[in-house]
Amino acid sequence: MSRSSVSKSHMFLIEFICVVMFFAICASLCISGFAKAETLSNKGLLLNRSVAGAETIAEEIKAMENPTEPQIAGIIEEKNGVEKEITYRCETERNNDILSAKIEAYNGESLLCRLEVKKYISNGGKDE
């Protein structure tokens, strides 16, 4: 076997290693892309569901005549009981005749969406 044949074989091996390394880099980029796509798709689905859920809570608050904090907490609790991956939280603030409620939807600790609803309460919510 001549020296040039051994050198050719080594060159081929080095070239092949380079190809494998290039492929490995491309594959790792592709896989990270795939994983990101999966995460994004899952997040999108959760966002859709959380928006519908938050909208439902907001509409129910608007439907109440004189919403009180325990009533709102009841709605949130009921909604949290139904949903598995989404947790809803609500902060209320009363400013004279206006009740504002900030509804937030979380997946674990990450915020999915936030919705603010304001409701005019006649008589400032006091019973006549």
Binding site for other proteins (CB under 8 A): 1, 6, 9-10, 12-13, 16-17, 19-20, 23-24, 27, 30-31, 34-35, 37-38, 41-42, 45, 48-49, 52, 55-56, 59-60, 62-65
Both structure tokens of 80? 């949290």
CB of 113: closest distance to other proteins in angstroms?
Answer: 14
Q: Which is nearer to other proteins, 34 or 73 (CB)?
A: 34
Q: Which is nearer to other proteins, 30 or 111 (CB)?
A: 30
Q: Are 113 and 51 in contact, with CB atoms under 8 Å apart?
A: yes
CB of 93: closest distance to other proteins in angstroms?
Answer: 20
Q: Which is nearer to other proteins, 34 or 69 (CB)?
A: 34
Rounded Cα distance, 40 and 105, in Å: 17
Q: Which is nearer to other proteins, 42 or 100 (CB)?
A: 42
Burial of 107 (0-12, 13-18, 19+ CB in 10 A): middle
Within 8 A by CB and 6+ apart from 86, the residues are: 46, 49, 50, 53, 105, 106, 107, 112
CB of 127: closest distance to other proteins in angstroms?
Answer: 16
Sign of CA dihedral 128, 76, 48, 110: positive
